[in-house]
Amino acid sequence: MRALVLVITAALAAPRDPFTSQREALADSLGQRGIRDKRVLDAIRSVPRHAFVPQTQHPWAYSDTPLPIGLGQTISQPFVVAVMTELLDVRGHHRVLEIGTGSGYQAAILSGLVKEVFTIELEPELARSGAERLRLLGYSNVIVKQGDGYRGWPEQSPFDRVIVTAAPPEVPQSLIDQLKPGGRLVAPVGRGEQWLQVIDKGHDGKIKRQSVLPVRFVPMRRGKGQ
């Protein structure tokens, strides 16, 4: 009887869906590929990536590959999401700005790790569907806005962390300005060849840049008249 109670309690504590074991396998494989931060792997284990891609993509939802999400945009490869989240080095009290909401998956991954996620999407259709999806899935500390990420979100700045998930030719100065001293920004940068850049703003305001990894993201586009 006691064993039965324990089994039922465990089942209720860890909600399962048809993809649970695939999601666990994905998190394990990212661990083997070098993702060390347990909180990041736990986030990969808990966020239902299939709910962020069209139904037609469900068979590949837990493959380590980018997938189309409509309007020529993509949800990033899980390994790249994990690397960027690990590099962002977040704390529970952080307020984070994301550029490029897309499906909302990266924002959902961050949601459980920080206090608030502010995320900006240029495409009105994706901003609307992303916000709706995040709301339905209960990621209530993610705030989505339609707009041009080149401007950042001055009304909510400064941010502890900034993550850019579309590639600008150079990191926009506005985003560096909206970073707190001691803050960090992670972004794919470049046209053609792209590198993941980590920018640290020292407490004295000094900027330090590192290029970490070659990546491939959709370009960060300019908003019309924004």
Q: Tell me the C-alpha distance between 50 and 184, whole Å.
A: 29
99 vs 113 by CB, closer to ligand SAH:
99
Q: Tell me the C-alpha distance between 137 and 190, whole Å.
A: 34
Residue 122 as a binder of ligand SAH (CB under 6 A): the answer is yes
Q: Which of 43, 44, 102, 178 binds ligand SAH (CB under 6 A)?
A: 102
Residue 165 as a binder of ligand SAH (CB under 6 A): the answer is yes
Q: Which of 79, 105, 118, 139 binds ligand SAH (CB under 6 A)?
A: 105
The terminus-to-terminus CA distance of the chain in angstroms comes to 64
Q: Which of 61, 110, 162, 220 binds ligand SAH (CB under 6 A)?
A: 220
Q: How far is the CB of 19 from ligand SAH (least distance, A)?
A: 17
Q: Which of 166, 186, 196, 215 binds ligand SAH (CB under 6 A)?
A: 166
Strands 159-164 and 207-215: unpaired
Q: Tell me the C-alpha distance between 58 and 60, whole Å.
A: 5
Residue 196 as a binder of ligand SAH (CB under 6 A): the answer is no
Strands 73-75 and 67-70: antiparallel
Residue 76 as a binder of ligand SAH (CB under 6 A): the answer is yes
Q: Which helix (H) or strand (E) holds 184?
A: strand 179-189
Q: Which of 35, 95, 106, 153 binds ligand SAH (CB under 6 A)?
A: 106
Q: Is there a catalytic annotation at residue 76?
A: yes
52 vs 94 by CB, closer to ligand SAH:
52
Strands 159-164 and 95-99: parallel
Q: Which of 76, 103, 111, 129 is catalytic?
A: 76
- # chain residues binding ligand SAH, by CB under 6 A: 24
Residue 83 as a binder of ligand SAH (CB under 6 A): the answer is no
* DSSP-derived secondary structure for 64-107: SS-EEEETTEEEPPHHHHHHHHHHHT--TT-EEEEE--TTSHHH
Residues 143-162 that bind ligand SAH (CB under 6 A): 148-150
Tokens read off for 57: 């993509």
**Residue found by looking up tokens 């009290």 in the block:** 93
Q: Annotated active-site positions, please?
A: 76
Binding site for ligand SAH (CB under 6 A): 73-76, 99-100, 102-103, 105-106, 120-123, 126, 148-150, 165-166, 218, 220-221, 223
